[in-house]
Amino acid sequence: MRVRKVILLLCILANSEISAQSYLRFLPIGDRPITSIQNNPTAQIGLSISDTLTLPFFEDFIQPAGYPSPKIWTDNLVWVNNSFPVKAPNYGAATFDHLNAKGKPYHTLDKRTMVYADSLTSQPINLQFRRMGVTTINYKPEDSIYISFFVQRQGIGDAPEIDDTLMLFFKDINNNWIKQWAICGGFIGGFQEFFVPIAQYQYLTPNFQFRFVNFTKATGNLNHWHIDYIRIEKNRKYGEKSIQDIGIASVTDGLFKDYSNIPYSHYKANIQDGRGKGPSMLVRNLNANAVQTRFQLSIYNQYKLRIYNKPFIASSRNLAGNRDTTESYESLSYDTLSTNEPRLDYIYSIDPQSNDGTPAAYNSLTNNNMIQTSHTIMPWYSYDDGSAEGGFGLDYAYLGNLKGQFAMEFNTLTSDSLRGLAIYFNQSLTDVSARSFKLRIWKSLSPVGRPDNQDKLMYEFAMDRPIYRDSMNGFAYIFFDSVLLLPAGKYYVGWIQQMPYVLNVGYDNNYRYLGVNQTNPHLYSNLLGSWEYAGTEAKGTPMIRMLYGNRAEYAFSTKKTTPTQVSIYPNPCNDYIFINGKLQETTECEIWDVTGKLQIKSQFNNRIFVGDLKPGHYILRCIAPNNQISYAHFVKS
């Protein structure tokens, strides 16, 4: 019976419409940190100018994920990461989308509106002259100065549409920004290198700057572009294949089996079932020719004591031209670490024996031959790596006003007290911030495809609404009113909702079950009275974590904030409602009906006219300037 089949549609991986049979929906991510809003490609907003740079210019975004380096860039609007791009030239890349500093869209969501969104602006670069000892030599158009860079559409995110555009601007001698290059969306694939000449006197100034700008629909975090390996130098040729570089493209610590994190006390209680396959690093040779390369890994504990080392002398081989290679290391038990939350520091290094001159020739400020990572073992079970590439939820409105359930399987290694759950709630496309649901813990589910009357529900926790955090991949930590003592074994964690809407939980699309590109077997949905597997396209993982530990709230460093309490009178009401509460004048007030439709929106006023509303139940939602949200319910007579 076809209606029973769960079909997945990855909106972050394709631009097709939701199928009428889709039960699970994958959405664009709606949270990452950038710091200002830019509505115009020529308006410098919040720029920070430092010392003027000189040629050659080089950027491969090897710095830690988050912001571009202020030594090279004046703004921090793009997201530097290695989770969205696919096979970037090096470890990181800059991702362009349509989110502001709070992880919110720059503009009101509207597919019909094209807007300027993310931009990336260089620090000033001296293109007027160069020095050779005590001699000053002016740059000229015949010096053949080129900027080159690699671009990828989509990556692991959302593909730009045909009318989306990535543009490159140069700043001229009169401080005007002039468009020099542009590329449209509508295509997907790997990274492509582009060359643009800087050949006119109007750009050969002592404070030349360039800027990439994303021109896109106002649709939140959709339409992704990724830029990497930016170079500017004189005496270049259009399309030259001059890269001599071997770099580390990605690393993994392989600490735990299947999970990204297991509470350390649980791991020590059952090392055999918790132990991962060990660290590895992926190395990329950008040369056309093979290069002899050596590999090294050192691991330190939180006291800076080295607990593992495999030196360069122990591993060396030829890397084929324009190819990747993986260097793997043995799995360690890590059974003697001190404290309940130990930290491991990894230093991955390579030592190419030749043909590694491009970064040095361009005076690179970073070193793509060494990557440092840390893993603090926290008191929770998690499959995700902390980086959300999309959102996840149940999408079944076409079935009618039915309840829906989702469950995610965990297999714990020892008996312990479950304190609560950590969930990353994503914000994009549709506002579900006033939707209620219940978190659930099951000991077991009924067999797939059979009536769900054999479910063993252990615990249920009512949620008035999702909890959003204004931070990078910010989790909401939800502690139960009583702890649950759970023996070792399988449990199922998820939620039940009483009507159709997409709750939109963060989705880590880099996760793969046991490191293999296969369906995630831990995910289940229930819409028609029986449980079904999530489907073949569900290979990543929703970002839900089981919280253990004696000092859970302290360990997570959750900042407690209490929204302003508000009340409404009269209730029930006829023509007006009056609001009691210490709300600021800039607070926004919204009134929603129980179907999730916004009926009224206005700046705060202690009296709001509701005479035009139909009789029924409504929700008042007050959003303070610090993004704290207060709620109150009322009845319209």
The answer to whether residues 104 and 205 belong to one domain is yes
The answer to whether residues 446 and 428 belong to one domain is yes
Q: What is the largest CA-CA distance in the chain?
A: 86
The answer to whether residues 264 and 221 belong to one domain is no
Please indicate, yes or no, if residue 43 is contained in any of the structural domains. Answer: yes
**Distance (Å, rounded) from C-alpha 464 to C-alpha 619?**
11
pLDDT category at 546 given cuts 50, 70, 90 is very high
Judge whether 149 and 193 are in contact, CB under 8 Å. Answer: yes
Please indicate, yes or no, if residue 7 is contained in any of the structural domains. Answer: no
The CA–CA distances, whole Å, from 292 to 279, 338, 371, 463 equal 22, 39, 19, 57
pLDDT category at 224 given cuts 50, 70, 90 is confident
Domain containing 448 — which CATH number? Answer: 2.60.120
Tell me what percent of the residues of the chain surpass a pLDDT of 70.
84
The answer to whether residues 456 and 530 belong to one domain is yes
**Distance (Å, rounded) from C-alpha 72 to C-alpha 69?**
6
Among 620, 618, 616, which Cα is nearest to 602's? 620
pLDDT, average across residues 269-276 = 96
pLDDT, average across residues 222-241 = 94
Q: Residue 179 above 80 pLDDT?
A: yes
Q: What are the DSSP E strand ranges found in 313-396?
A: 316-319, 324-328, 343-352, 370-376, 380-381, 390-394
- For residue 469, the model assigns a pLDDT of 77
Please indicate, yes or no, if residue 559 is contained in any of the structural domains. Answer: no
Of 359, 381, 403, which marks where a domain is finished? Answer: 381
Helix (H, G, I), strand (E, B) or coil at 478: strand
Q: Within 13 Å and on the Cβ side, how many CA atoms surround 13?
A: 16
Q: Look at strands 7-10 and 22-27 and give their pairing.
A: parallel
Least confident piece of the model among 74-88, 290-304, 540-554: 540-554
Judge whether 608 and 602 are in contact, CB under 8 Å. Answer: yes
Which among 75-89, 139-153, 473-487 has the top mean pLDDT? 139-153
Domain containing 340 — which CATH number? Answer: 2.60.40.10
Among 446, 522, 466, 460, which Cα is nearest to 496's? 460
The answer to whether residues 358 and 476 belong to one domain is no
Cβ-based neighbour number of residue 461 at 10 Å: 16
Helix (H, G, I), strand (E, B) or coil at 313: helix
Q: Residue 509 above 50 pLDDT?
A: yes
Of 208, 242, 276, which marks where a domain is finished? Answer: 242
Residues whose CB is less than 8 angstroms from the CB of residue 570 and which lie 6 or more positions away in sequence, other chains included: 577, 578
Q: Residue 328 above 70 pLDDT?
A: yes
Please indicate, yes or no, if residue 555 is contained in any of the structural domains. Answer: no
Tell the residue number behind the tokens 């007030």, with chain if given.
Answer: 589
Tell the residue number behind the tokens 């019976």, with chain if given.
Answer: 1
DSSP string over 69-123: PTTTBS---SEEESSSSSS-SSS-EEEE-SB-TTSSBSS--EEEEEEEEEEEEBP
- For residue 107, the model assigns a pLDDT of 61
- If phi > 0 it is left, if psi is from -120 to 50 it is alpha, else beta; for residue 271 that is alpha
The answer to whether residues 74 and 183 belong to one domain is yes
Judge whether 304 and 343 are in contact, CB under 8 Å. Answer: no
Please indicate, yes or no, if residue 460 is contained in any of the structural domains. Answer: yes
Q: Residue 74 phi/psi, 5° resolution?
A: -90, -20
The answer to whether residues 336 and 251 belong to one domain is yes
Per-residue pLDDT tens for 37-96? 333 444 333 445 557 999 999 999 987 667 898 889 998 888 898 988 999 999 999 999
**Distance (Å, rounded) from C-alpha 532 to C-alpha 528?**
10
- For residue 110, the model assigns a pLDDT of 57
pLDDT, average across residues 363-372 = 88
Please indicate, yes or no, if residue 6 is contained in any of the structural domains. Answer: no
Please indicate, yes or no, if residue 2 is contained in any of the structural domains. Answer: no
Q: Higher model confidence: residue 295 or residue 617? A: 295
The answer to whether residues 298 and 193 belong to one domain is no
- Domain span including residue 585: 567-636
Among 309, 246, 256, 311, which Cα is nearest to 282's? 246
The CA–CA distances, whole Å, from 508 to 27, 403, 426, 550 equal 11, 25, 11, 28
The answer to whether residues 341 and 465 belong to one domain is no
**Distance (Å, rounded) from C-alpha 415 to C-alpha 419?**
13
Q: Residue 214 above 60 pLDDT?
A: yes
Burial class (CB in 10 A: 0-12, 13-18, 19+), 128: middle
The answer to whether residues 212 and 270 belong to one domain is no
Domain containing 226 — which CATH number? Answer: 2.60.120.200
Cβ-based neighbour number of residue 589 at 10 Å: 21
Q: Residue 237 above 90 pLDDT?
A: yes
**Distance (Å, rounded) from C-alpha 138 to C-alpha 126?**
10
Per-residue pLDDT tens for 562-609? 556 777 888 889 999 998 877 877 788 888 776 557 889 888 888 899
Mean pLDDT of the chain: 85
Among 393, 378, 561, 390, which Cα is nearest to 473's? 390
When divided into structural domains, the chain yields a total of 4
Q: Residue 170 above 60 pLDDT?
A: yes
Residue 595 token pair:
């179907």
Residues whose CB is less than 8 angstroms from the CB of residue 176 and which lie 6 or more positions away in sequence, other chains included: 42
**Distance (Å, rounded) from C-alpha 233 to C-alpha 168?**
17
Please state whether the peptide bond connecting residue 379 to the residue before it is cis, i.e. omega within 30 degrees of 0.
no
Which among 159-163, 244-248, 341-345, 616-620 has the top mean pLDDT? 244-248
Q: Look at strands 177-184 and 380-381 and give their pairing.
A: unpaired
**Distance (Å, rounded) from C-alpha 445 to C-alpha 532?**
10
pLDDT category at 250 given cuts 50, 70, 90 is very high
The answer to whether residues 536 and 580 belong to one domain is no
Residue 235 token pair:
């005496």
Please indicate, yes or no, if residue 14 is contained in any of the structural domains. Answer: no
Residues whose CB is less than 8 angstroms from the CB of residue 619 and which lie 6 or more positions away in sequence, other chains included: 434, 591, 592, 593, 594, 631, 632, 633
The answer to whether residues 176 and 63 belong to one domain is yes
pLDDT, average across residues 241-256 = 95
Least confident piece of the model among 109-113, 450-454, 575-579, 619-623: 109-113
Q: Residue 461 above 70 pLDDT?
A: yes
Q: What is the dihedral of CA 84, 89, 95, 96, to 10 degrees?
A: -130
Cβ-based neighbour number of residue 100 at 10 Å: 19
Q: Residue 278 above 80 pLDDT?
A: yes
Q: Residue 630 above 80 pLDDT?
A: no
pLDDT, average across residues 544-564 = 60
Total residues found in the chain within this entry: 637
Helix (H) or strand (E) holding 427: none
**Distance (Å, rounded) from C-alpha 117 to C-alpha 99?**
8
Of 347, 381, 415, which marks where a domain is finished? Answer: 381
